Amino acid sequence: MKKWKVVSTAVTFGKFHKEPVKRLEEIGCEVMINPFGRPFTTEEMIKYGKDADALIVGNDKVVKEAIDQCKKLKIIAKHGVGVDGIDIKAAHDRGIIVTNAPGTNCQEVADCAMGFILMLARDYYRAVFETKSGKWIKRPGISLYQKTIGILGLGNIGTAMAKRAAGFDMNILGYDIKERQEVRDLGVKYVSLEELLSNSDFITLHLPLNDGTRNLIDSEKFKMMKKGTILVNTARSQIVNSEALYKALQDETLLGYATDVYDSEPPVRQPFFDLPNVLLTPHEAGTTFDSNKRMGNTAVDNVIAVLTGKEPPFIITVK
């Protein structure tokens, strides 16, 4: 039996569920699991991946330099959805297949985004801390009922978010380059970006990162928002301009901001991190025991298909 080498740089691959790793081992793969608890640097990716047949990557930057040095590589499988960190063209130029695992954690990311909204709207994060500290302070929060939520990006995650918002009897505005009837059937009204930003009490981001979305939420976009808007970002940090964000948090354009995504991991500390109306989590929105198993098995489905000469189920093409 041929012995393939699979290197996983994804922090959570094989961490909570061993089934995906065992599946690779059963077909004759030598599997290396991320030993660092963080994304690989380019140098580490080259060092450990230079003789690998497959890479399973998480939030690592997979750049052309690393791709060119991994001479045996046949597939780069994303343990997750977004592939903006992978130089797809460089991979395809070398005949390397790129795949992802769509839909495997969309419900969990939507859960996180709705949780952020509840925490900020009701000031739960501060109430818990104060009550445990022996204080007894009651503050009025903001109701979700019949308020307006704006969802930017209505793919799998944005659609899951719309279902949750409908359960709270919220008015739902949506913005996307592609409109779908199944989304309208959930009660979503498609509007322009300007109309969404101007009329939403809560805004949640579920867009991919590309040239059209990078720094999309800048100072001009913040000027369109109502005073006291709550903004949640479980998509990509670079969609929001950090300097404009800091100003919007200080001048009360934003009542609060919550994010699970950063420019790097662990992140370089930003000034807005220290503001009391900001919530931060360590890019774990899509991580539960259940979703980790789904992501791992889908990544492995892609890897096994390529290594055994079949077409993978979730292949990424160059646009």
Catalytic residue chosen out of the listed positions 130, 195, 243, 265: 265
**194 has catalytic annotation:** no
Catalytic residue chosen out of the listed positions 17, 164, 236, 294: 236
**236 has catalytic annotation:** yes
**283 has catalytic annotation:** yes
Counted residue by residue, the chain has a size of 319
Buried b (16+ CB within 10 A) or exposed e, 108-140: bbbbbbbbbbebbbbbebbbeeeeeeeeeeeee
Helix (H, G, I), strand (E, B) or coil at 199: helix
Q: Which residues, including other chains, have CB under 8 Å from residue 309's CB and lie 6 or more apart?
A: none
Residue 317: closest CA among 100, 56, 47: 100
Helix (H, G, I), strand (E, B) or coil at 90: helix
Rounded-to-integer distance, Cα 201 and Cα 150, Å: 8
Rounded-to-integer distance, Cα 232 and Cα 279, Å: 9
Catalytic residue chosen out of the listed positions 79, 206, 283, 294: 283
Active-site annotation, residues: 236, 265, 283
